[in-house]
Structures are given as C-alpha cells and as structure tokens.
Amino acid sequence: MTEKPNDLDTVPTQDGLILEEPIEKARHPFMEAWDMFRRNHAALVALMILVLIILGAVFGPSLYGRDPFDMVWAPFTPPGQNTDFLFGTDYLGRDLLAMIISGARVSIIIGLAAAFVSVFIGVTIGALAGYYRGWVEEVLMRFTEFFQVLPTLLFSMVIVALFGASLPMITFAIGIVSWTAVARITRAEFLRIRELEYVTASRASGARDLKLIFSVILPNALPPIIVQSALMVGSAILFEAGLSFLGLTDPNVVSWGQIIGSNRTYFLDASYTVTLPGVAIFVTILCISLVGDGLNDALNPKLRSR
C-alpha cells in the first residue's frame, strides 16, 4: 500500500492529542490485487507480451493478409533469404509467418474454450462434492479419480479418432480430460469455507443450497480457481498442440502444433519449420505460466513468503 503524504496525523488538536491516522478508504479488491500483481515484474512483462500475442491473433491475419494455405514461393526457403517471407516457407512453399499468425488464432481459441469447458465441469463437480459432503462427495470424488486414471492424451486421441476431428470435438476432448485438478481445488476450498461462520450465518438466515453455493461460497473460493484456470488455458494450448502434432486436427485450419507435425518429416533439413512455431507455443505458455504466478501472488498474498 502506498503512503500518501498526509498532514493530518501530525496536526495537534485542541486537547493536545494527536489525531489518529484517518482510516484509509476501503479500496476495491480488484485494485489491491492489481497492486500486488504489479510488483511481480516478470508477470507484468509476460502479461504485456501475452496481450501482444492476443492482439496479433485477433488482428494479425487481416493485417498481414496472406493466406496460410497459399503456396507462394519455393519450398524450404530459409528465413532471411527473401525479405518477403521473413520466416521462410514450409515444405509446400507456404509462408511460415502467415501460418504462425493464423495458427495463433486457432491455438488460443481452442485453449480458451477447452479451459472454459474443464473449469465449468471441475467447478460444478468440486462444488457439489465439497458442499454436500457424504455420499455425494464419495461418488463425485470416485468419478474424479476415475478420470485421473485415464491417460489424458490417449483418451482425447480416442475421442477425436472415433468422433471426428472438428474444432468443437477437439475442444470437448481436451476439456473432458483436464478438469480433475479444478475439481479437487474447488472441493478443498468448499470444504474449508462451508464451515466458516458467515456461511453458517447465511444458512441460519434461510439461504437455500443453490444460493449458498453460488453467491456465498463460490465467490470466496474463486482465487485459487482463477489461478488454476489461467494455467488450464496454457495446458489446453499445449494439449491441442500435441493432438495436432499427431495429426488429430481439423484439416481446414492451421494451428501451431499442426505446423510442427506436418513439417516434422523434413526437420533434419529445414529445422526452422519446426523451431519457429515451437517458439510461438513456448513463449505463449511461458507467459501464461508467469501471469499465473503473478495472479497467485495477487490473489493469495499469504503465500507470498514461500
């Protein structure tokens, strides 16, 4: 908290007493969190890079204007040889920069959507288990454990292979395997918070279960869920990259993993076709992890000393 220059506390009153420091106006919790976040410089820089990447994904394709599927130049033109193709061309002579820009859009959209699906499932299951306890908790946590046993990537490979590689199906396949961590965290928070006095108070004043779950407990359980959700976006992007690297992707769109997968056969001769899209994934995930760390600092100040 920043000290503001304040003359009041040194001004003697008529009784000769010194006035206590005036109570600072309660600040919006969001501002406090932002202050904490700002102190983590790495997270701040990462956030700025991330904003640039997202802006690039949104506006890049129309600004750059080259179709990522067009074969525009000789295949395997390395970066730097032709200024028209900054990142060079791939094995079909497509502009690698256009592909990476266009891939950003798909990778980020799938990352966000899949993270949304898994957070939705995870919060629902975790909240119900933590709130109702008893047999509900038993059943739901067994269900969660069951999903933890399935090797995530293989399970989504199976779903995509059996039901088709459309973008919604890929999103669903990633979301359905990644919610277990969210469920565990949510449940732990609910177990803790449901015993607190203000929850007992609102229950005593007649609040119903749904109200208690969604407007009393959930808002207070949010901080660790938000941190986890941020990290989920990163792991969903990685996951999508893995699937499309294996060729389990919608053939009508370009994504980062798919660029690597399709150029993989030639990487010993033209390693930049693999390296460059990989750097795009790497930087994005790195930034998301750093922002996640920053969020953790901002939302759980108690953990800061660790």
The nearest distance, CB 276 to another protein, in angstroms, is 11
Shorter beta-carbon distance to another protein: residue 120 or 146: 146
**Binding status of residue 35 toward another protein by CB under 8 A:** no
Position among 56, 60, 175, 234 found at the interface with another protein (CB under 8 A): 234
The nearest distance, CB 148 to another protein, in angstroms, is 6
Residue 120: closest CA among 186, 199, 217, 192: 186
Taking the CB of residue 202, how many other CB atoms lie within 10 A of it? Answer: 16
**Binding status of residue 257 toward another protein by CB under 8 A:** yes
Position among 158, 207, 222, 226 found at the interface with another protein (CB under 8 A): 158
Rounded Cα–Cα distance for residues 259 and 51 (Å)? 23
**Binding status of residue 146 toward another protein by CB under 8 A:** yes
**Binding status of residue 306 toward another protein by CB under 8 A:** yes
Whether the CB-CB separation of 229 and 115 falls below 8 Å is answered with yes
**Binding status of residue 149 toward another protein by CB under 8 A:** yes
**Binding status of residue 152 toward another protein by CB under 8 A:** yes
Position among 185, 199, 241, 253 found at the interface with another protein (CB under 8 A): 241
The nearest distance, CB 192 to another protein, in angstroms, is 18
Contacts of 94 (CB under 8 A, 6+ apart): 68, 69, 70, 71, 72
Give the largest CA-CA distance in the chain.
89
**Binding status of residue 247 toward another protein by CB under 8 A:** yes
Shorter beta-carbon distance to another protein: residue 157 or 188: 157
Shorter beta-carbon distance to another protein: residue 136 or 154: 154
Position among 245, 253, 294, 298 found at the interface with another protein (CB under 8 A): 245
Interacting stretch for another protein, rule CB under 8 A, among 55-63, 66-74, 214-222, 275-283? 275-283
**Binding status of residue 26 toward another protein by CB under 8 A:** no
Q: Which residues make up the interface to another protein (CB under 8 A)?
A: 145-146, 148-155, 157-159, 161-163, 234, 238, 241-242, 245-248, 257, 260, 264, 267-268, 271, 274-275, 278, 281-282, 285-286, 289-290, 306
